[in-house]
Amino acid sequence: MSVLVFTENWDGKFKKLSFELASYASKVAEMLNTNAVALSIGNVDESELKKLGNYGVKKVVSINNDTLKSLDDRAYTSVIAEIAQKEGSKVIILSNNNMGKGLAPRLSVRLKAAIGAGVSQLPLSTNPFTVYKRAFSGNAFAHLELKTDVKIITLAQNSFELIETANGASVENISVNVDASNIKVQVKDVQKQTGKILITDAEIVVSGGRGMKSPDNWGPLVELANLLGAATACSRPVSDEGWRSHEEHTGQTGKIIAPNLYFAIGISGATQHIAGVSSSKYIVAINTDKDAPIFGAAQYGIIGDASKVLPKLVEAVKEVKGK
């Protein structure tokens, strides 16, 4: 028996979420009295693979195969399923990000394994196997029983802390046969964002809404984000108007994020917006309207005009950081 964790790397370096997943998987393995095994697909060197051991993983299975260079959901599913079976994995853990959302459901059908999707905590119990997950876009949570022998969990990004241990992991390089003629998704072009903090990864997100009034007013907001090492985001009308890029839109129909700190500046706090940010640990709201619903979701608030408050806030951060 084992718990299998599917890791992701970016140009050969593990994404932070892989260490989050490894920490989570190790805890689940502890609950089940077994070990966590990590699967890495891609060209990742040994010293990087070994880092997973710092987060409690006992063994790393590494596959470096040219046919798997780009993501074909069907091919990846076959490989993950093969390794899961070989490792006797009873629980398989993936990220609830773009990749995990594509792979986990296929794996579920392949292995007849129930999915708990978008989970943000350890299982509530292992017998019956019950997870706690978001429902009704964050307006409720469900206790979901996974009734099958093998279970799949996709973990919400940023929802689990990194737990470092002194373990070392063994690394096993494995080769798999992937029939290239079965690859039906052909990647023609890759456009990578460089030097930008992704809002799904960011621990702090500074977000602006229609209350920012115009795309020309974003300067101090971006400055605040830069000072805090934060990503920038926006509400839906802002991206619909083309003031900011679509990648920044958070909410029910945008990105769902769970940073430690979320600044909602000139954002009313409509339920559809809150649906995407309610898992933030802390929300700070800046709004001229004292009755704006965002104050109902925020822990800290300033009633005031963003154009006046933001420059002062920037100064305050500079002062504090300068100390």
Partner 1 sequence: MKILVCISNVPDTTTKVKFVDGNTKLDTTGIQWIINPWDELSLTRALELKDDSTTGVKSVTVAHVGLIASEPTIRKALAIGADDAIRVNAEPADAYYVASQLAEVIKKEQFDIIICGIESSDFNGSTVGSMLSELLDYPSVSSVSSLKIENGQIVISREIDGGKEIVNVSTPFVAVVQKGIAKEPRIAAMRGIMMARTKPIKLYELIAAEPLTQVVSFEMPKPRAACKFVDAENPKQLIELLQNEAKVI
Ligand X SMILES: Cc1cc2nc3c(=O)[nH]c(=O)nc-3n(C[C@H](O)[C@H](O)[C@H](O)COP(=O)(O)OP(=O)(O)OC[C@H]3O[C@@H](n4cnc5c(N)ncnc54)[C@H](O)[C@@H]3O)c2cc1C
Q: Which stretch binds partner 1 (CB under 8 A): 40-48, 84-92, 98-106, 215-223?
A: 98-106
H or E element at residue 129: strand 129-135
Dihedral of CA 199/205/206/210: which sign? Answer: positive
Residue 240 binding partner per list partner 1, ligand X, none, with a CB distance cut-off of 5 to 8 Å that depends on partner kind: partner 1
* 169, 228, 233, 238: which one binds partner 1 (CB under 8 A): 228
If one asks whether residue 138 binds partner 1 (CB under 8 A), the answer comes out as yes
Report how far residue 37's alpha carbon sits from residue 60's, in angstroms, rounded to the nearest whole number. 6
Both tokens of 308, joined, read 């006046």
If one asks whether residue 200 binds partner 1 (CB under 8 A), the answer comes out as yes
Q: Are strands 9-10 and 13-14 parallel, antiparallel or unpaired?
A: antiparallel
Provide the 10 A C-beta neighbour count for residue 140: 8
Shortest Cβ 39–partner 1 spacing (Å):
17
Residue 89 binding partner per list partner 1, ligand X, none, with a CB distance cut-off of 5 to 8 Å that depends on partner kind: none
Shortest Cβ 303–ligand X spacing (Å):
9
Residue 7 contacts residue 50 (beta carbons within 8 Å): no
Report how far residue 148's alpha carbon sits from residue 251's, in angstroms, rounded to the nearest whole number. 32
If one asks whether residue 97 binds partner 1 (CB under 8 A), the answer comes out as yes
Report how far residue 57's alpha carbon sits from residue 23's, in angstroms, rounded to the nearest whole number. 8
* 142, 164, 170, 289: which one binds partner 1 (CB under 8 A): 142
**List of residues contacting ligand X (CB under 6 A):** 209-211, 213, 235-238, 251-254, 266-268, 270, 272-273, 276, 286-289, 292, 305-307
The nearer residue to partner 1, 35 or 97, going by C-beta atoms, is 97
The nearer residue to ligand X, 179 or 291, going by C-beta atoms, is 291
Report how far residue 165's alpha carbon sits from residue 39's, in angstroms, rounded to the nearest whole number. 19
Residue 225 contacts residue 232 (beta carbons within 8 Å): yes
Residue 8 binding partner per list partner 1, ligand X, none, with a CB distance cut-off of 5 to 8 Å that depends on partner kind: partner 1
Shortest Cβ 206–ligand X spacing (Å):
14
The crossing angle, in degrees rounded to 10, of helices 219-228 and 306-322 is 30
The nearer residue to partner 1, 17 or 28, going by C-beta atoms, is 17
Residue 150 binding partner per list ligand X, partner 1, none, with a CB distance cut-off of 5 to 8 Å that depends on partner kind: none
Find the binding residues for partner 1 in span 144-173 (CB under 8 A).
Answer: 144-148, 154
Both tokens of 157, joined, read 């990004």
